[in-house]
Amino acid sequence: MEKKIKTAMPDFISIEEAVALSREQNRDNHRRFINPEIVNLMGILNFDKCFVRAKGTSVWDADGNEYLDFLGGYGALNLGHNHPALDVALASVQELPNLLQASLNPLAGALASNLALVTPGELKYSFFGNSGAEAVEGALKLARAATGRKKIVSCEGSFHGKSLGALSVTGRAKYRTPFAPLVPEVEFIAFADAAALEQALAKDDVAAFIMEPVQGEGGIIVAPDEYLQKVRAVCSAHGTMFIADEIQTGFGRTGKWFACEHAEVTPDILCISKSFGGGVMPLAAYMTTEKIWKQAYGSVEKAMLHTSTFGGNTRAVAAGIAVLETMYEEDLPRQAAEKGEYLLGKLQQLQEKYPFIKEVRGRGLLIGLEFTPPKKGLMNLLTGGALEKMANEYVGAMVAGELLNKHRIITAYTLNNPNVIRLEPPLTVSYEQIDRLLAALEEVFAKNKGFGDMVFASGKTILGSLLKK
């Protein structure tokens, strides 16, 4: 009989050991095995803390210090961290098969049915995936298949993801250029410019126009309701699919279930993700009408043209079912509308007091503060212009750094406009927690008077960190 030889297990790091790693050990793993430059970037402003517990809007570090999360997973935590309804939902399906492609998952069918009840208009058919970028990829393919056209129109300053198709319609050259050539026949127009849209669609050769009702990474830029209504009319007139990217704005974030409802318009295709999985499971979908779905995939030969291995898996869709139920039970869209109005009003008062706050804008609990970079000075001269470049590129990060390191409040700047910090807390955030944020901002702004003090101090720290590398 052949003797079996058991090989020794590699020196794996266990879950328990990983949780107990020191901050430097964690940095070292990321530096050696993931992305060393992100370690450098996160470390510049002390954004590489280790957190060991989370609940609602609060997270705690290993020393027991509480932080308020006003970043909210870039909109993925509308229900907050570790909402108990998600634990119950996942526990209820733990013995079911999670992946079994040779079947029709009853939970996926139930979630799709539930979604059709809460989405606007005649949106009915859902395709489940794992991320916002995947939802955008599927939406672009659907539009091309349904219309027989190839051209896509998107907006400058937009952000739709970093996979190849989603990146092709993302409106910032910094992210696109290193990966060219991308998907062809994509045109970019100014955001919220109805005349530019009409011109772009005039030849009746555009498969889809994709846009965010609120440009998140563009700096929290809200599209006027009248513009969205015009988009709907122009797309209909030219046979172009209107794709609404509500990956960040969906599920109550702006004070409605979906941001396009403020303008009372329904897109042809709706992209959703982020908070759809409750912050515990990766879950995404694109939705469309029965007519459009059948135009694209309405035969046995076409039914399998677009698929996803993990899309619609049991645990993910169970989380999605719990998210919809919890939103209704806790009336989260209303909470977002009321708390957002309160926060916006208080921030506008700060803007009147501190002129370096260039603009306060947003809708619901998706709010941006844009800052005016400080004027040139001696320190800028001594650094050969490097400090001015730091201020222009990292002023939002500097404010976020002050909030994190001195007030234990987590925020971040927007990718396409680094002079903007985003405030995107869970919709369950309390008024007391909002007031704590406001008090921290007041202290940051008052302490730094002309704002330049903080920028110069932070700029020197950033320059020093960069020069050591």
Give the pLDDT band of residue 342 (cuts 50, 70, 90). Answer: very high
The model's pLDDT over 283-293, given as tens digits with 9 standing for 90+, comes to 999 999 999 99
Lowest mean pLDDT among 187-201, 311-325, 414-428: 414-428
**Tell me, what's the pLDDT at 382?**
44
Same domain, 175 and 313: yes
**Tell me, what's the pLDDT at 378?**
43
Query: Does the pLDDT at position 259 exceed 90?
Result: yes
The active-site residue out of 70, 159, 209, 251 is 159
Instruction: Among 299, 330, 361, give the residue marking a domain's end.
Output: 330
* 294 catalytic per annotation: no
Is 388 within the bounds of a domain?
yes
The model's pLDDT over 131-165, given as tens digits with 9 standing for 90+, comes to 999 999 999 999 999 999 999 999 999 999 999 99
Q: What rounded mean pLDDT belongs to the chain? A: 91
Is 45 within the bounds of a domain?
no
Same domain, 276 and 379: no
CATH of the domain at 186: 3.40.640.10
From the list 451, 242, 456, 458, the residue with the least C-alpha distance to 357 is 451
The active-site residue out of 245, 268, 451, 456 is 245
Is 88 within the bounds of a domain?
yes
Instruction: Kindly state the DSSP code that residue 263 receives in the 8-state scheme.
Output: G
User: Strands, DSSP E only, in 4-135?
Assistant: 51-55, 58-61, 66-69, 125-129
Is 217 within the bounds of a domain?
yes
The model's pLDDT over 157-188, given as tens digits with 9 standing for 90+, comes to 999 999 999 999 999 999 999 999 999 999 99
Same domain, 346 and 305: no
Instruction: Among 301, 330, 359, give the residue marking a domain's end.
Output: 330
Span 217-237, average pLDDT:
97
The model's pLDDT over 344-363, given as tens digits with 9 standing for 90+, comes to 999 999 999 998 899 999 99
Q: Respond yes or no on whether the N-terminal peptide bond of residue 213 is cis (omega within 30° of 0).
A: no
Same domain, 94 and 239: yes
Paired tokens of 261: 């409802």
What pTM, to 2 d.p., does this model score?
0.93
Same domain, 304 and 376: no
Give the pLDDT band of residue 1 (cuts 50, 70, 90). Answer: low
**Tell me, what's the pLDDT at 101?**
87
The model's pLDDT over 90-133, given as tens digits with 9 standing for 90+, comes to 999 999 999 998 999 999 999 999 999 999 999 999 999 999 99
By percentage, how much of the chain surpasses pLDDT 70?
A: 90
The active-site residue out of 251, 274, 276, 339 is 274
Region for 295 from its dihedrals, namely left if φ exceeds 0, alpha if ψ lies in -120 to 50, beta otherwise: alpha
Domain tally, the chain:
2
User: Strands, DSSP E only, in 48-150?
Assistant: 51-55, 58-61, 66-69, 125-129
Same domain, 233 and 265: yes
Paired tokens of 167: 């990146």
* 274 catalytic per annotation: yes
| SS percent in the chain: helix, strand, coil, step 5 | 45, 15, 35
Give the pLDDT band of residue 380 (cuts 50, 70, 90). Answer: low
Query: Does the pLDDT at position 469 exceed 50?
Result: no
Residue 125 neighbours by CB under 8 Å, 6+ apart: 112, 287, 288, 289, 290, 293
Give the pLDDT band of residue 385 (cuts 50, 70, 90). Answer: low
Lowest mean pLDDT among 178-182, 296-300, 407-411, 446-450: 446-450
The model's pLDDT over 54-99, given as tens digits with 9 standing for 90+, comes to 999 999 998 999 999 999 999 999 999 999 999 999 999 999 999 9
Q: Which has more confidence, 464 or 188?
A: 188
Q: Respond yes or no on whether the N-terminal peptide bond of residue 181 is cis (omega within 30° of 0).
A: yes
Same domain, 362 and 437: yes
Paired tokens of 466: 């960069």
Is 34 within the bounds of a domain?
no
Instruction: Among 281, 312, 330, give the residue marking a domain's end.
Output: 330
Span 287-300, average pLDDT:
97
**Tell me, what's the pLDDT at 49?**
87
Same domain, 252 and 286: yes
Query: Does the pLDDT at position 460 exceed 90?
Result: no
CATH of the domain at 371: 3.90.1150.10
- Say if CB 396 and CB 371 are below 8 A apart: yes
Same domain, 318 and 366: no
**Tell me, what's the pLDDT at 451?**
57
* 453 catalytic per annotation: no
Same domain, 254 and 367: no
Is 248 within the bounds of a domain?
yes
Residue type, 352: E
Is 63 within the bounds of a domain?
no
Same domain, 359 and 252: no
**Tell me, what's the pLDDT at 455?**
57
Query: Does the pLDDT at position 35 exceed 70?
Result: yes
Q: Domain range spanning residue 445?
A: 332-467
Same domain, 122 and 234: yes
- Say if CB 212 and CB 363 are below 8 A apart: no
* CA dihedral sign of residues 76, 81, 83, 88: positive
Give the pLDDT band of residue 394 (cuts 50, 70, 90). Answer: low
Is 72 within the bounds of a domain?
no
The model's pLDDT over 410-433, given as tens digits with 9 standing for 90+, comes to 998 888 888 899 999 999 999 999
Q: Which has more confidence, 392 or 260?
A: 260
